[in-house]
Amino acid sequence: MAEALRQAKGPVRIRGGGTRGAAASGPAEVIETGALSGIRLYEPGALTLVAGAGTPLQEVAQVLAEKNQRLPFEPMDCRALLGREGTPTLGGVAATNLAGPRRVQAGAVRDFMLGVRFVDGSGRVIANGGRVMKNVTGYDLVKLLGGSWGRLGVMTELAFKVLAIPQAEATLIRRGETMAEAVPVLCQAMGTPFDVSGAAWAEGARLVRVEGMAGSVAYRAAQLDAALGGGHEIVEDAESAALWRDVRDVTAFADRPGAVWRVSVKPTDGPRLIAALAEAGLAAQAICDWSGGLLWLLLGEDGDAGAGVLRGLVTKMGGHATLFRAGPDLRRRVPMFHPEPAGIARLTEGLRRHFDPRGLFSEAKTDAATKVTA
């Protein structure tokens, strides 16, 4: 990988499984990471796994499941929503930091990254972190690389903390509520002592999940039912897990045309945002996760797909809006990522100049024919 980047003559696109990367916006050389694969170290007793960045996520999940363990952050599978094929990889998960519904309890992808090896735009191999939680000295490049979308370097090896798979799970369902009705109750659920691991609203249904030992789950589900007004439908285990896969992967929007936005705001601002969009003439279909803190919005692709209005409102709320799915024409008109405040933009540019002085990892519009496999 270091040699491939040292020899690169212009912009490059890094592709692992090709299932979740940012859309391209210019000619580029494609460097594939599939050969950087394999589990290098797995210590179940230490809750630690080290693997190449190109390791398929399914392979990691299978190995962990044999010891009744898993990646705690419920990584999203983007294939149906983005209409892509391929195999999700560990590096793609780390680069995009796309955690699922369990983020409200467990944390983000980067919170479980213990160490990273990566190659920067100068072809330097850099290692940071290690294989235990308290291992960082100097700059915490592990957290910096997590969620960087490949803008600072190519991750080649990753160390993760893993956790045990709970014995049971249950989801409380209340159907027929609007988002404005559901969000306050979701926030209430998150404020209870019952260790909620999922709080979402999708297609008129409010969902609240608990996980753990079977007896504990049964007790907490009953207590939550009473605390949230009673009369909830309760589903368990495989049936519950299927509901949360749909929320995690935004399945409801997979076969519907239009642009998909991923919006982060304070949970209580979600209903206000939808109402403000409607007042501006933008009828957005919505799914809300993280008790309202994460909104998936489906809007038409005409014009700027609501970018100007949406990002203006979200900026005032202190959040950000990412154009997650869009056709090629819309991609050319609207940047994927939310504009950064001036101070953050200066920091970002400084980091890019340091780690990518030749601008190799700038966005690319189309894949060139050239490929290099590392």
- pLDDT surpasses 80 at 285: yes
Q: Determine the Cα–Cα distance for residues 203 and 252; give it in Å rounded to an integer.
A: 8
Show the 3-state SS of 322-349: EEEECCHHHHHHCCCCCCCCHHHHHHHH
Q: What local confidence, expressed as pLDDT, does residue 22 receive?
A: 58
- pLDDT surpasses 80 at 371: no
pLDDT band at 23 (very low <50, low <70, confident <90, very high): low
Q: Determine the Cα–Cα distance for residues 153 and 202; give it in Å rounded to an integer.
A: 36
Place of tokens 């109402």: 275
Q: Determine the Cα–Cα distance for residues 193 and 172; give it in Å rounded to an integer.
A: 16
- pLDDT surpasses 90 at 14: no
pLDDT band at 347 (very low <50, low <70, confident <90, very high): very high
- pLDDT surpasses 50 at 372: no
- pLDDT surpasses 60 at 34: yes
pLDDT band at 29 (very low <50, low <70, confident <90, very high): confident
Mean pLDDT across the chain, nearest whole number?
92
Answer whether 43's CB lies under 8 Å from 50's CB. Answer: no
Going from the C-alpha of 10 to that of each of 207, 215, 344, the distances in angstroms are 48, 58, 26
Nearest to 273 by CA among 240, 320, 233, 226: 320
For the full predicted model, state whether its pTM sits above 0.85. yes
The dihedrals phi and psi of 57, each to the nearest 5 degrees, come to -60, -35
Q: What local confidence, expressed as pLDDT, does residue 18 receive?
A: 83
Q: What local confidence, expressed as pLDDT, does residue 139 receive?
A: 65
Q: Determine the Cα–Cα distance for residues 43 and 250; give it in Å rounded to an integer.
A: 33
- pLDDT surpasses 80 at 370: no
Mean pLDDT, residues 294-301 taken together: 97
Q: What local confidence, expressed as pLDDT, does residue 154 receive?
A: 94
Mean pLDDT, residues 282-308 taken together: 96
Q: How many CA atoms lie within 13 A of 216 on its CB side?
A: 13
Q: Determine the Cα–Cα distance for residues 12 and 288; give it in Å rounded to an integer.
A: 35
Q: Determine the Cα–Cα distance for residues 327 and 334; give it in Å rounded to an integer.
A: 11
- pLDDT surpasses 60 at 363: no
Answer whether 125's CB lies under 8 Å from 333's CB. Answer: no
Q: What local confidence, expressed as pLDDT, does residue 367 receive?
A: 32
